[in-house]
Amino acid sequence: MKVFLTPMLLVSVAAALLAATAFTTLAEEPASEVLEVRWVMAGIEKGADPAHPISISPETTLRTGDKLKMYLKAVNKCFFYLFYHNPEGQLRLIYPDALPSGALASGTRLTVPQGDQWFELDEQTGTETFHVLVSPTPLRAIETLYEDYRQHASKNGSSAVRLITAIDRLRNQQRPLTSKAERPLSIGGTIRGGPDTGTDTTESRLDNLAENIASANVFCRTYTIEHH
């Protein structure tokens, strides 16, 4: 995928075994506060009309030239983190730009990347993963683990495994309060967006696709994209 990337060490199986034990010393405890957001990961197939994005499911197959964009609306104050894990095992915090993170105020609308820009899948194929985390309070343990990864990834791959393990643990602890909004219809293995409402901005189109998320503590979702 076009963007990011500085050289880092690939994660090994041996490092994973080491990290599974070391992780227990630094575990995030999600806040017991109600979280409400609107969220979507949207996509545009290569050559498709950008005025008609589709909603991307957590496990999907995309191809070189397809484009991706994320949209979040904070119904109440929250903290948002977006991690990218590339096919070579390298991790990158896409949002926020720097740590410690700052709160998104109630009513904030955010697109990543900003404006009319989109992430585009480049010629490098493989499994690409995005980790989405939204919390009513800052996830300081996650931030600490990422800073440790940045400092030590070239020396010890276990730092990446500790971070991914912490994210997985948070995902298993989330407590949804309501069921998801009805998803757009699936057609031929892809997801068709909702009806055209006549709006003419990228943000409004993505909001039409977004689902309402309500949780008693934290919202975590992992998108695994098989890039062919």
pLDDT tens-digit series, residues 64-114 = 999 999 999 999 999 999 999 999 889 999 999 999 999 999 999 999 999
Pick from 19, 155, 1, 166: nearest CA to 84 = 1
User: CA–CA separation, 207 vs 147, rounded Å?
Assistant: 32
pLDDT band of residue 181 (cuts 50, 70, 90) is: very low
Q: Which of 101, 48, 103, 37 is nearest to 70 (CA)?
A: 37
User: Are 217 and 32 within 8 A, CB to CB?
Assistant: yes
* Residue 139, pLDDT above cutoff 80: yes
User: pLDDT confidence of 157, banded at 50, 70, 90?
Assistant: confident
pLDDT of residue 2: 60
Which pLDDT does position 152 carry in this prediction? Answer: 84
Query: Strand, coil or helix: what is 166?
Result: helix
Q: pTM of the full predicted structure?
A: 0.80
